[in-house]
Chain A
């Protein structure tokens, strides 16, 4: 019985071994075999993600990062925050109870690259936006252990003194458009001014931000100071929008009755 079951496999291995025995005399046959064998899995798993529509949900209210938020995201990447903080709430009860509605694919639709993370030395940040005040975020980044005794997070006080470089923002938004983020011409041209305006409420610049990115955009002194635009402004602006790009996850959760 057992032998009978194994017979087709034995035949396959016999053929496979004989084929290999011939192939290993020719480096290019071997190379072609390797490329072929190694391509199948990747192709089958990755290609359909681009073509199957259900992969990413439709969220008509999904909004884009403002230039200041995108600059903050670039700082988040620069400092390697993703090494300790995930941005992906799994569909497990304890995660939903701890962090909020589970993450949807659409929420990172415009994230080039995604920052789902792989390790939670610190908590998940997918829905950290507006969970704490700007003031708390700034103080926490300046000295984490002053607010959270026992925390092992590094201090980022230097962000408060670092002037935000805004000159390259039009280029960055243009590059993001090239890879598929639907920024308009006006958004790209005014990127540097918009970054400034978002941290300077009650100015013409600020009006421009609201006009181009919507009235609901957070416009305030993120680092608590009205002086120059700092990297702290950008990072806090980014943290405060996490989980706030679309309302769809909360709507789905409410519909499920959780």
Chain B
């Protein structure tokens, strides 16, 4: 892969990784005796490996082919594979922590393996590792095709992808060592946060520069979503992570906000991580790969506009529904509830737009498990956004909050929507990227689909049962007016559901392992297929890269 970079690009790759390695060494020395020191060594190792990889290729010949005649897909390929690796790690962690809640001795008594330390490894592993890498990889693929232009740069896409993964590695290893800010989905400490800002700025610049090269007058809808994802995640990340480090040679920092303001900021971040990381980005995927695979144009351009701006505007208000009946002022709670309910309109507009796109292609949904993944993702998107609006209503929230119902809801979105659309997109894009005839085994795709669906349904039903049961038990009174159940009794009642959750999660994990196996075998064993028209072009005679709108 390195030899496809020019010598100057290899040099700048060496320069950048060298700089990062030096920074890592400085961290290792300054943070000696603190987890930050360990992070310094990890950074040094990571950057030094890249430095030598680039250095080894330094004296190879310049690439001779005309690079502007084709798309630049190497970073996308790497991103897809890394994403699958994180899927197995993150979901494996999920199954382990779920099992710990049923059988606490599975913790094996090490300090690093408690539920509290492993849980963020699971959440960050699947959200950022699996989801984030898939988003970065597919965004590179989609923006080039829908712009009919090659990526604007060769080093910067690698910087974005690998820099993001350095962030993920520092995050996950930090949790095991107890490095956390305790802000859910924003746990990494200050130096990791600063690094992510650098990576993210490069990502945005790369995106805009590629769009500037486009051979299409209009920017396709998938790119609106990817852009909203990049921009708003940047805002959320910067504001919620404002903190003062206790010292510059240790990991610990203290949030700039306290108490009620901190709670509001955190859930403004937390819910919009759902909105702009787990929804907007993946809608970008859906808007490209679903019409491509179905070979149908998007049903309605108008609905796309309505739902896009609706999601961008409404979602931001919704965060305070995480704080019903708390010390947050009532007016803020009410705003959150109101906008959460209104959010159903743009959400269902998106889900409906996706499903209506399949009109005329339902026979393919029946025979093609890949398309079925994406169809089912749109269905789960519709279901979980409905459930979300419902749970944001104050009266419902009084029952559901603090219980497993919330956990079930999150997983309806994360497994049913995010993971299914990602797997569908991966099965679509892998044969295209590697120029293969097809996936290695369509039967494995079919197996994966049913395992994933069964796992998701078992998981959600288990959590509905446990959440609603526990919520009701907490508020049950005896005839004499005292609480009927001790906390422990309500917890013991959860056991069968926690076992069921482990089973559901395991099925889902097996599916992800099958996907990774299938992708690797496709790359290694499936025959070459000459590409369709899949290169940058300014001429309209070339295949229009975007599915024609309306």
Contact = CB atoms under 8 A, between A and B. Distances in A.
Q: Do A and B come from one complex?
A: yes
Interface stretch (A31-39, A132-140, A204-212, A233-241): A31-39
Interface in B241-282: 243-247, 250, 252-266, 268, 276
A24 B316 contact: no
A225 interface: no
A145 B219 contact: no
A92 B477 CA distance: 13
A148 to B, nearest CB: 6
Interface string B344-382: 000000000000000000000000000000000000000
The listed residue with most B CB atoms (<10 A of its CB), out of A49, A109, A155, is A49
Contact of B268 (A45, A50, A81): A45
A77 B175 CA distance: 11
Contact of B313 (A40, A105, A118, A171): A40
A52 interface: yes
A175 B253 contact: yes
B306 interface: yes
Interface stretch (B285-293, B321-329, B521-529): B321-329
Interface in B480-519: 482-483, 487-488, 491-492
A26 to B, nearest CB: 8
B114 A25 contact: no
Contacts of A172: 246, 252, 254
A179 B402 contact: no
Given A34-B227, A115-B182, A175-B247, 9 more contacts: A34-B224, A41-B339, A44-B335, A45-B264, A46-B264, A49-B260, A80-B115, A114-B260, A117-B402
Chain B at the A interface: mostly helix, strand, loop or mixed?
A: helix
Interface string A173-188: 0111011110000000
A175 B254 contact: yes
A150 interface: yes
The listed residue with most B CB atoms (<10 A of its CB), out of A31, A84, A156, is A31
B116 interface: yes
A35 B180 contact: no
A34 B228 contact: yes
Interface of B: 100-102, 104, 107, 109, 111, 114-117, 119-120, 175, 178-184, 208, 211-212, 217-219, 224, 227-228, 231-232, 235, 239, 243-247, 250, 252-266, 268, 276, 302, 305-306, 309, 312-317, 319-320, 322-329, 332, 335-336, 339, 398, 401-403, 406-407, 474-475, 477, 482-483, 487-488, 491-492
B268 A97 contact: no
A46 B265 contact: yes
Contacts of B243: 179
A24 B266 CA distance: 32
Contact of A45 (B217, B320, B324): B320
11 contacts: A25-B218, A34-B224, A45-B317, A45-B332, A104-B327, A105-B260, A105-B327, A118-B401, A119-B407, A158-B111, A180-B258
Given A45-B317, A88-B326, A92-B398, A154 B115 contact: yes
The listed residue with most B CB atoms (<10 A of its CB), out of A86, A92, A118, A168, is A118
The listed residue with most A CB atoms (<10 A of its CB), out of B208, B245, B325, is B325
B508 to A, nearest CB: 20
A187 to B, nearest CB: 15
Shortest Cβ-Cβ A-B pairs, 5 listed: A80-B116, A41-B316, A108-B259, A41-B317, A90-B325
Contacts of A123: 487
A150 B492 contact: yes
A113 B262 contact: yes
A203 interface: no
A49 B319 CA distance: 14
B327 A45 contact: no
Contact of A54 (B306, B329, B487): B329
A16 interface: yes
A154 B313 CA distance: 42
Given A25-B218, A38-B312, A154-B116, A168 B181 contact: no
Contacts of A148: 488
Contacts of A98: 474, 483, 487
A79 B178 contact: yes
A179 B224 contact: no
B305 A17 contact: yes
Contacts of B319: 45
A16 B107 CA distance: 55
Interface in A41-99: 41-42, 44-46, 49-50, 52, 54-56, 74, 77-84, 86, 88, 90-92, 94-95, 97-98
A33 B224 CA distance: 11
The listed residue with most A CB atoms (<10 A of its CB), out of B114, B183, B324, B332, is B114
A108 B254 contact: no
The listed residue with most A CB atoms (<10 A of its CB), out of B175, B243, B258, B475, is B258
A113 B235 contact: no
B199 to A, nearest CB: 18
A30 interface: yes
A112 B253 CA distance: 9
Contact of A168 (B183, B247, B260, B266): B247
Contact of A31 (B208, B401, B477): B208
A27 B219 CA distance: 8
A178 B317 contact: no
B178 A78 contact: yes
Contacts of B114: 79-80, 154, 156
A180 B217 CA distance: 51
The listed residue with most B CB atoms (<10 A of its CB), out of A158, A171, A176, is A171
A108 to B, nearest CB: 4
Contacts of B102: 152
A20 interface: yes
A154 B103 CA distance: 10
A148 B314 CA distance: 45
Nearest to B314: A41
A160 interface: no
A181 B258 CA distance: 9
A29 B367 CA distance: 42
A174 to B, nearest CB: 8
A74 B329 contact: no
A94 B258 CA distance: 27
Contacts of B100: 152, 154
Nearest to A162: B111
Given A49-B261, A56-B259, A79-B178, A113 B183 contact: yes
Contacts of A118: 184, 322, 401-402, 406
Contacts of B104: 144-145, 151-154
Contacts of A151: 104, 488, 491
